[in-house]
Chain A
Amino acid sequence: MDVEQYQFDEALKAQRAIKEAQVAQVRQRYGLLTRIVLYVIAVGFLILSLIPIYLIVSASFKTDLQIFAIPPVFIFTPTLDNYRVALTGGTSQLPYVINSLIASIASTIIAVVFGSMAAYGLARFNFKGKNDLAYWILSTRMAPPIAFVVPMFVLIKSLGLLDTWWALIIMYTGMNLSFAVWLLRGFFLDIPPELEESALVDGYTRFQVFTRIALPLVKPALAAVAVFSLIFSWNEFLFALILTQSNAKTIPVGIQGFSNSMGINWGPFMAVAFIAILPVMVFTFIMQRYLVRGLTFGAVK
């Protein structure tokens, strides 16, 4: 047995050495010049995508004069006036931020919880019309949202849910669920059924197998679903605009209204924009390491 272990370890070492050699070979092939060019392109792209964010953040701390100064001011004393305008008094966007948080967090949680359960059912159990059901779920994503905005408005209105959180939560959950179900189903299919059967024999109930064996194994996918659902719900504009007026208005609609009400007041506008970007950015950073694994895992299989 020790011999067996030894051979196995040796084989593992050999595999690793081969892989390292291959990587080294690839590195050698690209000369120094190629690598410099690659870095320049990468840095250029990075700057390009960061400029808008820099503009938003810097402008939100500047006075109007500084915002429009030519040449642009890079060093200035930051002011919080813009944020005061954006978050307090009659023009406060704070309620909209809260609405957005509630609608997107709630719909994300519901999509992850129900999506994982539906996906597990579709991946593990055989029942009549299983594939039809799966494709029906997928089909809910096929029409462009604008196509069913009017029927949805009528539905929500007759339910008496216009301008409530519920209207948004229901809509966003519906839109996120199909994505959640399809992504997670693939992951659940990748778990060998024997692993779960062995747990069933070991003493788990089917539900315990789901929560303690299956879910921990698809953590990366859960993270990916959560991030995408949250970003989608947070950024969603069309339905929020149609289905809400004031009570449940979300921040994307808020920004739009903010600019209209008094012309464009750039300082406070940028402050609101920054507030709107912040939560998604923070959340994505937190989930980042799961996210990369989640996306590549699904892609490889």
Chain B
Amino acid sequence: MAEVRLQNVWKVYGGTVEAVKGVNLVCHDKEFLCLLGPSGCGKSSTLRMIAGLESVTQGDVFIGGRNVTHVPPKDRDIAMVFENYALYPHLTVYDNIAMPLKVRGFSKAEIDAKVRHAAEILHMTDLLDRRTVRLSGGQKQRVGIGRAIVRNPAVFLMDEPISHLEAQLRAQMRVELKRLHLEVEATTVYVTHDQLEAMALADRIAVMNFGVLQQVGTPTELFDKPANQFVAGFIGSPPMNFLTCELVWERDELFVQGQGYKVALPAETKQKLLLRGKDGSLILGIRPLDVRIAQSASEATPIAAQTFVYEPQGETCQVTVQLDGQLLSVETSGDFFTQAGETAWIGFDTAKLHLFDSKTGANLVV
């Protein structure tokens, strides 16, 4: 098992298209690291550079302390699982899983033992003699994973391995993948665009956008302390609300004021803003769960808004309200009821409020 380290890694296609820009990233030994970002953000290119399937334009890639920047994929001691399974169509499940061992010259007995062991872990012993064309999507990907674990490599690389599957199966495979990681304890780098998948699986998540690494941290860290507006908006479902606002001093108190609302900031937030010397126009971010909502005004819900859409979801409900022309989504318990057009009273949980620089997008209160 080994640590994966990227040092100032760049990938430039055709001399002009910068897909990955100066990424520094470490995936610790036995860690499950997710590369998360929208499509075209450079996460797949990064993974393919770790695998050696894509050349590194600039920078270095280390696996287990060894510089592998110019080492061919087969000598990097890695295994990769692909989105579209990449199984050899003319072979059976058994031969597919056995392939990496055959290539490396293992004896027949060894191969047999290892393949059967892998099949057992993945619960597909009874499918070994099947041709892979006669398998469902979930099973195909299990074969793909089997081919990866059979060799016991230093690092697992997974490129959206379950994105092709239907929702129900995806949830099931997510559980299996997490369980598998606990069992085989392999260093894993996992690429996905699905933030729920990343949150559920990863020890740590690295969020990328436009080829730039935005933030690396545990799922909780990313959720509670997003480094910038992009991370804040990408993680969490429904996504965080963003409103434009101004900082306003009144006597010794600091307020944020926007269209239709004015909220006093807690002392801690005030201090952070003072330290950074920020002033003027900012972007306020607040998660739907951190907005209180009630049918009448109170100290906790002093702001008047209009219900735009009410969506009951059983245990919870989601309300989209209109606040002076801006839409704001609110999540609250399922017993709350309102109707489109009615007045709803809202309030912000100021301790969980984020303020972002309107130019750089940096989070000013972490």
Nearest A residue to B130 by beta-carbon distance?
Answer: A5
Q: Does B22 have its Cβ within 8 Å of any Cβ on chain A? A: no
Q: Does A94 have its Cβ within 8 Å of any Cβ on chain B? A: no
Inter-chain contact A197/B82, CB cutoff 8 Å: yes
Inter-chain contact A192/B84, CB cutoff 8 Å: yes
Measured in the bound complex, the distance between the Cα atoms of B172 and A4 in whole Å is: 11
Contact of A201 among B51, B84, B123, B139 (CB under 8 A): B51
Inter-chain contact A203/B100, CB cutoff 8 Å: yes
A1 partner residues in chain B, CB cutoff 8 A: 123-124, 139
Inter-chain contact B80/A216, CB cutoff 8 Å: no
How many B residues have CB within 8 A of the partner chain?
A: 35
Contact of A200 among B73, B87, B104, B136 (CB under 8 A): B73
CB distance from B325 to the nearest CB of A (A): 48
Inter-chain contact A5/B139, CB cutoff 8 Å: yes
CB distance from A145 to the nearest CB of B (A): 39
Inter-chain contact B127/A5, CB cutoff 8 Å: yes
A197 partner residues in chain B, CB cutoff 8 A: 51, 53, 73, 80, 82, 86
CB distance from B186 to the nearest CB of A (A): 14
Inter-chain contact A8/B136, CB cutoff 8 Å: yes
Most buried by B among A1, A199, A201, A216: A201
Nearest A residue to B138 by beta-carbon distance?
Answer: A4
CB distance from A281 to the nearest CB of B (A): 30
B123 partner residues in chain A, CB cutoff 8 A: 1
Measured in the bound complex, the distance between the Cα atoms of B214 and A130 in whole Å is: 36
Contact of A202 among B83, B90, B100 (CB under 8 A): B100
Inter-chain contact A4/B88, CB cutoff 8 Å: no
Q: Does B289 have its Cβ within 8 Å of any Cβ on chain A? A: no
CB distance from A126 to the nearest CB of B (A): 8
Q: Does A241 have its Cβ within 8 Å of any Cβ on chain B? A: no
A5 partner residues in chain B, CB cutoff 8 A: 127, 136, 139
Knowing A200-B53, A201-B79, A217-B90, the reply to whether A4 touches B103 (Cβ < 8 A) is no
Q: Considering the complex, which residues of chain A in the window 202-220 have a beta carbon less than 8 Å from any beta carbon of chain B?
A: 202-205, 208, 213, 216-217
Q: Does B72 have its Cβ within 8 Å of any Cβ on chain A? A: yes
Inter-chain contact A201/B80, CB cutoff 8 Å: yes
A198 partner residues in chain B, CB cutoff 8 A: 80, 82, 86, 144, 147
Q: Does A132 have its Cβ within 8 Å of any Cβ on chain B? A: no
Q: Considering the complex, which residues of chain A in the window 23-63 have a beta carbon less than 8 Å from any beta carbon of chain B?
A: none
Q: Does A195 have its Cβ within 8 Å of any Cβ on chain B? A: yes
Interface of A is mostly: helix
B88 partner residues in chain A, CB cutoff 8 A: 195, 213
Inter-chain contact B147/A202, CB cutoff 8 Å: yes
Contact of B103 among A7, A192, A202 (CB under 8 A): A202
Nearest A residue to B100 by beta-carbon distance?
Answer: A202
Inter-chain contact B139/A200, CB cutoff 8 Å: no
Q: Does B231 have its Cβ within 8 Å of any Cβ on chain A? A: no
Nearest A residue to B80 by beta-carbon distance?
Answer: A201
Inter-chain contact A4/B80, CB cutoff 8 Å: no
Measured in the bound complex, the distance between the Cα atoms of B89 and A217 in whole Å is: 9
B245 partner residues in chain A, CB cutoff 8 A: none
Measured in the bound complex, the distance between the Cα atoms of B34 and A20 in whole Å is: 46
Measured in the bound complex, the distance between the Cα atoms of B173 and A1 in whole Å is: 11
Most buried by A among B72, B78, B127: B72
Q: Considering the complex, which residues of chain B in the window 117-174 have a beta carbon less than 8 Å from any beta carbon of chain A?
A: 123-124, 127, 134-136, 138-139, 144, 147, 151, 157, 169
Most buried by A among B53, B89, B134: B53
Q: Does B74 have its Cβ within 8 Å of any Cβ on chain A? A: yes
Measured in the bound complex, the distance between the Cα atoms of B134 and A4 in whole Å is: 12
CB distance from B166 to the nearest CB of A (A): 11
Nearest A residue to B104 by beta-carbon distance?
Answer: A203
Inter-chain contact B86/A205, CB cutoff 8 Å: no
CB distance from A263 to the nearest CB of B (A): 57
A4 partner residues in chain B, CB cutoff 8 A: 136, 138-139, 169
Contact of B86 among A12, A195, A216 (CB under 8 A): A195
Q: Does B99 have its Cβ within 8 Å of any Cβ on chain A? A: yes
Most buried by B among A203, A208, A213, A216: A203
Inter-chain contact B74/A203, CB cutoff 8 Å: yes
Which residues of A are in contact with B by a Cβ distance under 8 Å? 1, 4-5, 7-8, 12, 192, 194-195, 197-205, 208, 213, 216-217
Which residues of B are in contact with A by a Cβ distance under 8 Å? 51-53, 72-74, 78-80, 82-90, 99-100, 103-104, 123-124, 127, 134-136, 138-139, 144, 147, 151, 157, 169
17 pairs, CB–CB < 8 Å, chain A vs chain B: A4-B136, A8-B135, A8-B139, A194-B83, A195-B86, A195-B87, A197-B53, A198-B144, A200-B52, A200-B74, A201-B51, A202-B100, A202-B103, A202-B147, A204-B103, A205-B72, A217-B90
| Leading 4 A-B pairs by shortest Cβ distance | A194-B86, A203-B103, A202-B100, A8-B136
